[in-house]
Amino acid sequence: MFNPNMPYRSLGRCGLKLSSFSLGGWTTFGGTVKDFTSIRSILRLAYEAGINFFDIADIYAKGESERMMGAALKDFPRHELVISSKVFWPMSDDINDKGLSRKHVLESVNKSLQRIGTDYLDIYYCHRYDPETPVEETVRIMDDLIHHGKILYWGTSEWTAEQIQEAMDVCDEGGYYRPQVEQPQYSLLAREKFETNVQPKALEHGMGLTTWSPLASGMLTGKYDDGVNEGRLSRIEWLKDTFYTDKNVQRVRDMKKIADDMECTRGQLAIAWLAAQSGITSVILGATSIEQLQENLGAMKVNITTEVDLELKKLFDYQL
C-alpha cells in the first residue's frame, strides 16, 4: 500500500510516474551495506513510504547492488515498481566489457536483467558519454532494446547539453526513440554545471531529471562541520576534494539557522530544496539504515517558499 503523502511526477513529457523521492544503491547496497536483512528492511520502508523508483547500476559494487536490491524488490509487485540500471563502466578486464558499443550494451542489459531478476528495466541509462563509440550506434541499440521489450525508456547520466543534443539529433533524423531522462549530480554544493548547461537543455527537450547526491555525500547534513573522520568523504578521495573546503564548511554551518527557523534538519532542507527546483522528477536518496532513510524522507514535510529558495541560492551562490 503506497503512502498517499508521497508526490508523484511525470518523467518529463512521458506518461511514466515516479515518486518525487527515490532510493538508489550507489556505494551502499552490496557495498557498505552487505547484510540482506538490513537491505530488505530499508527497501520495505521505502516502499511503504510511497517510493516506487529504485535506481541501480551494474557498476555499483560490481553487480552486487543489482543482485541484492533485485532480491529485496521481489517482495513487491513488479508492476508497481520503476527499476533502472545503467551501462558504461568496465565490469571486467575484457577489452569490450566497457563503453556504449552495441556489443557491450546488449550483453550488459542481459546480465543486469539476470542479476536483478526481472524481465525488463523501466529505465536504462547510458552512465557516461562514450567518445569511442558513435552516438548513432548507441542510439540504435537503445532503440532496439525498447522494441524488444528489454527496456521501456532510455536515458543519459552525466551528459552535457551538447552531448544530449547530439543524441536528440540522431534520434530525430533516424526516427529512433529519444532519451527521456537525464541523471545529473545536483545539490546546493553542485549547482553550476547543472543549472547553466544541463537543466536548460533537458527542459527544452522535455526530459525528466532524476538527480543523485542531493546531500553532497553528507556534506550538507553538517556531519563534517568539525572535520572528516568518517562517512563517504573519508572513503572516496575525489568526493572529499570536491566538497570539503573551508568555504563550504562555513556555508553549511550558516545553513543551520535557516533549517532551525523551519524546524527541520539541514539534510531535510537540502533535499526539499532540490525537489522544488524546476524540472526535477525525482531526488535519489541513499541510505545505510532505516533511521537514515526516515530522516531523509522527513524532507516531504518541508515547504520551500520563494524566500527560502532565494536565501539558499544566495548562500550557496556558485558565482561568488
- Contact in structure between 116 and 145 (CB atoms under 8 Å): no
- Alpha-carbon distance of 141 to 199, in angstroms, equals 26
List the one residue out of 121, 118, 125, 87 whose CA is nearest residue 104: 87
3-state secondary structure 217-284: CCHHHCCCCCCCCCCHHHHCHHHHHHHCCHHHHHHHHHHHHHHHHCCCCHHHHHHHHHHCCCCEEEEE
**Catalytic annotation on 177?**
no
Residue from 8, 47, 60, 244 carrying the catalytic annotation: 60
Cα–chain-centroid distance for residue 246? Answer: 27
78: three-class secondary structure by DSSP: helix
Number of H-type helices and E-type strands within the chain: 13, 10
Nearest-5° angle of CA 312, CA 22, CA 306?
25
Residues with a known catalytic role = 60
